[in-house]
Amino acid sequence: MAWSADGFPGLRGLSLRGLSGWGLSTAGLALLLAEAAVLGCGPPREPCPPAPTGGASTEWPSYGNDPGGTRYSPLADIDGANVRCLEEAWTYHTGDLPDSRGEHASSLASEVTPVLVDDTLYLCTPYNRVIALDPETGRERWSFDPKLPLDGHYANQLVCRGVSPWLDPAAEADDLCRRRIFTATNDARLIALDAPTGQPCLGFGADGQVDLNPGVGEQEWRGEYQVTSPPAVGADVVIVGSAVADNRRDDAPSGVVRGFDARTGALRWAWDLRPPDFVATAANTTEAGYALATPNVWAPMAVDPERDLVFVPTGNPAPDYFRGESNLDHYGSSVVALRATTGEVVWNFQTVHRDLWDFDVPAQPTLFQLRRDGEEIPALVQATKMGLLFVLHRETGEPLFPVVERPVPQIEVPGEYLSPTQPFPTKPPPLVPHSLSPDDAYGLTPWGRGACREALAALRFEGIYTPPTEQGTLMVPGNAGGSNWGGVAVDEANQRLVANVHDLPWSVTLIPREEAEAEGFERDEFAEYAPMRGAPYVMRRVPVLSPVGIPCNPPPWGMLAAVDLETGSISWQVTLGTSRDISPLPIALETGTPTLGGPLVTGGGLIFIGAAFEKVLRAFDVENGREVWSARLPYGPQATPMTYRAGGRQFVVIAATGYERGGMPPGDAIVAFALPTE
C-alpha cells in the first residue's frame, strides 16, 4: 500500500524542540552559536577557473534520466576543481502553494524531478499543473492546468513526482502530438499533452485524457485512489499504477496495473495482482473483475526497451498490519518483471514474505550492467525500506549476490499467521541498523536517555520482522525506510551505487477494536491511528522520540553511502543533513535528518543531493563522501536533482518545494545552479 510513499504524519513530533531540555544553558547555546560562526569562516576563496563552455546540449529524457532509472549523467563540466564556484543561475516559482487555491483538503509535497527533451524542461506541481520552461533561463513557455478537484481528501497528500515524454516514431515531423508529455493526476486521470504547446492530444482517450477510476472498485471518497508517480512508457504503451489509502479497510480499491495505447488511450492490458489460487466472488472483486485490496504500485517503474520489459515495485495488500486469512500476498512487496507490450508476468522476486510491516517496495528498480569475471550481466538493483539492496538478474529475477532465508520472530498474534523466514541478501550489507536495545538509548542528558530507555524497554522487539502486537512493537528500521521513493543512483562505468537512507525507529501497536472505539479512549496527538476495518484491531503508529522530540536511537539519523557493485561492499558512509532547519535555533548539529528524495551522480565525480530535512543542496566527492559544496535553498529540497547542458553550460536543477507532513513548509521553487560565465 502507499502510506509511507507520501506521508510521515508522525514526524510532526520530530522537531528537536525544547533545547533547554537538553541541559544547555543560555551561555552554552551562545557558545555553540559562536563556534558555528567560527567554523563558517574559512580561508579566502581562490579565484574560480574559467567555466567550460561550448559543449553540445544534452537531455534528461526520463524521470531517472534513462528508462532504467540510473540517475547518472556523464556530464563533467562541473567537477571537484570548480564545484565550489557553482551559483544560482535562475529560480522559477510555480505559484502552487496551499494559499494559492484557497481551501485545500490535503497537504502538499511536490517531490518532482523535471525532464528535458527538445530543449524544454517539463515538470508538474502538486496540483498536477504541467509546466514547460526554457532550460537556460527558467522562463515559462506554457502551462496546463487539469483543474484538480480540491473538494476531495487525497490520502497520500497532493503529490506529482514527474511527467513522461514520448516520441511517436510513426508520426510526421510536423504532426500535432508527435512528441507527447504524459502525466497522471491525484484524482486518477492519465493525460496526454502536445509537448510544444501544452494542448491536450484530442485523439487520446476522451479529449486527451483517460479516467482511471472506473473498474478499480468503489471509493469511499475522492482521492482514496490516486496516482503520484510518473507513468512508464514502453514501446507504444503507457503504463500506470496507483497509490491507495493505507490501512483503511480490507476491501480497498484494486491495485491493478494497466497499460494503455500511447496514441489512442485504449486499454491494451491489465495486470490484476491476485494470487494464482484466488477464488473470485462478487464481494472480493470490482465491477471490472479485478481483485480488491491487492498490492498496488505507487513508486516509479523502470523500463528495458530492448527486452520489452517493465519492472514493477509492488506494495503490500490491505490492510498493512493485520490480514488474518487473506491470501493476497503472492505479489506483495516484490519486484515483478512484466512484458511491456502485453502485461504478461515474466518473473517475480519477493523482498518480504507476508509483509505485516508496511515494508512495501518504495523505489524505482534501477537497471545496469553488472561486471563480473569479465562478463557484463543485465542486472537490476532494488532499494528497500529495510535498508537492504537486492541485486537481481534482469532477465530471470535470480539473485546475483546470494539471498538466504533466515528464521524470523514467530510471536503469536491471535488470528494472524507469519512467514517463518525472510529473505536476506548476503551482499551488500544493510545500509541501516536492524537492531536497537534499551542500552542503546540516546539522549543529551541522563533524563532524556532514561526516558528513551524506558520507551524502548516497553516495546516488543526480537529483531527485524517482529510482528505488530498489542503490547506495541518496535520497528527498526521504521516503515518509512531505510530507502524510500528517492531510490539510488548507479554509475555503471565505475560499478558504483549511491544511496541515501534514514534511520528512525517507530512503534506499531494493535489496539483491539472495541477498546479503541470505546468512549473515553484517549489518542496521542502525535500518533497516527488507522481503522483497518475488517480486522479486529485499530493500528497506532508513531516515531519513538524523547520527551523533547529527539529520536531515541543514536545519530546519524540520515546517511549517504556508496556501494561497490562488483564486490558488494560498502565503500563509505557519511552523515547527511544537520539540525539547522528542524530545531528552534539555527544550530547545525551534525545529526543527520530523515531524507526524502534521491541522489544524482555525474561524470565529474560528484554526487548532488538535497533530500535532508534542511534547506540545502549539497555536492559530495563520489570517491570518499567528502562534502565539497552546498547552497541554501528557499524551501526544503525533498526531491531528486537532475542535470543537463544547454547553451554550452551544465546546469543542476532541484525542486525546492518542501514537505508539509514532515514539518518542512511547502514551497514552489525550481532552482538551477551553474558555473559563472565570467
pLDDT the model gives residue 104: 56
What beta strand segments (E) does 247-333 contain?
Answer: 257-261, 267-271, 302-304, 309-313
pLDDT the model gives residue 661: 83
Mean pLDDT across 124-150? 97
pLDDT the model gives residue 275: 97
Q: Which residues are CB-contacts of 527 (< 8 A; sequence separation ≥ 6)?
A: 10, 540, 541, 542
Distance CA 424, CA 472 (A): 25
Q: Per-residue pLDDT tens for 33-74? A: 334 443 344 455 688 888 888 899 999 999 999 999 999 999
* In the predicted structure, residue 14 carries a pLDDT above the cut 80: no
Q: What is the dihedral of CA 324, 328, 334, 335, to 10 degrees?
A: -170
Mean pLDDT across 235-261? 96
Given the DSSP bridges, would you call strands 569-575 and 558-564 parallel, antiparallel or unpaired?
antiparallel
pLDDT the model gives residue 36: 40
3-class secondary structure, 656: strand
Mean pLDDT across 443-449? 92
Measure the N-to-C terminal CA separation of the chain; round to a whole number of Å: 51
How would DSSP label each residue in 101-115? SSS-SS-B------E
Mean pLDDT across 465-487? 96
Q: Per-residue pLDDT tens for 288-342? A: 999 999 999 999 999 999 999 999 999 999 999 999 999 999 999 999 999 999 9
Amino acid at 407: P
State the DSSP code for 27.
Answer: H
Distance CA 9, CA 668 (A): 21
Mean pLDDT across 142-159? 90
Question: pLDDT above 70 covers what percent of the chain?
Answer: 93
* DSSP β-bridge partners for residue 351: none
* In the predicted structure, residue 526 carries a pLDDT above the cut 90: no
Q: Which of 576, 540, 543 is nearest to 452 (CA)?
A: 543
* In the predicted structure, residue 25 carries a pLDDT above the cut 90: no
pLDDT band at residue 584, thresholds of 50, 70 and 90? confident
Amino acid at 42: G
Q: In three state form, how does the secondary structure of 198-218 look? A: CCECCCCCECCEEECCCCCCC
- Residue position matching grid coordinates 503490500: 316
* In the predicted structure, residue 220 carries a pLDDT above the cut 90: yes
Give domain limits for the chain: 3-23+57-674
Q: Is the pLDDT higher at 24 or at 310?
A: 310
Q: Is the pLDDT higher at 524 or at 407?
A: 407
Whether residue 635 contacts residue 665, with contact meaning beta carbons closer than 8 Å, is answered with yes
Let me know if 54 is exposed, middle or buried by CB neighbors in 10 A (0-12, 13-18, 19+): exposed
Residue 151 gets the label, from left (phi > 0), alpha (psi -120 to 50) or beta, of alpha
Amino acid at 9: P
Q: Which residues are CB-contacts of 677 (< 8 A; sequence separation ≥ 6)?
A: 51, 53, 649
- Residue 662, C-alpha cell as written in the block: 514532515
Query: Sheet of 115-117: strands edge to edge?
Result: 115-117, 120-124, 130-133, 140-144
Distance CA 521, CA 512 (A): 12
Whether residue 575 contacts residue 627, with contact meaning beta carbons closer than 8 Å, is answered with no
pLDDT band at residue 586, thresholds of 50, 70 and 90? confident
pLDDT the model gives residue 107: 81
pLDDT band at residue 106, thresholds of 50, 70 and 90? low
pLDDT the model gives residue 38: 39
pLDDT the model gives residue 18: 34
Distance CA 418, CA 409 (A): 9
pLDDT the model gives residue 2: 40
Whether residue 265 contacts residue 349, with contact meaning beta carbons closer than 8 Å, is answered with no
pLDDT the model gives residue 103: 59
pLDDT band at residue 675, thresholds of 50, 70 and 90? very high
pLDDT band at residue 235, thresholds of 50, 70 and 90? confident
The set of catalytic residues is 358
pLDDT the model gives residue 458: 98
Let me know if 98 is exposed, middle or buried by CB neighbors in 10 A (0-12, 13-18, 19+): middle
Q: Is the pLDDT higher at 142 or at 154?
A: 142
Amino acid at 391: V
State the DSSP code for 308.
Answer: T
Q: Per-residue pLDDT tens for 548-575? A: 889 999 999 999 999 999 999 999 999 9
Vertex 513 angle, CA 509 and 519, to 5°: 105
pLDDT the model gives residue 533: 96
Scored b (16 or more CB within 10 A) or e, 430-460 reads bbbeeebebebbbbbeeebbebbbebbeebb
pLDDT the model gives residue 278: 96
Average pLDDT of every residue of the chain: 92
pTM of the model: 0.94
Q: Per-residue pLDDT tens for 627-636? A: 999 999 999 9
Say yes or no: domain 3-23+57-674 is CATH 3.40.50.1100: no
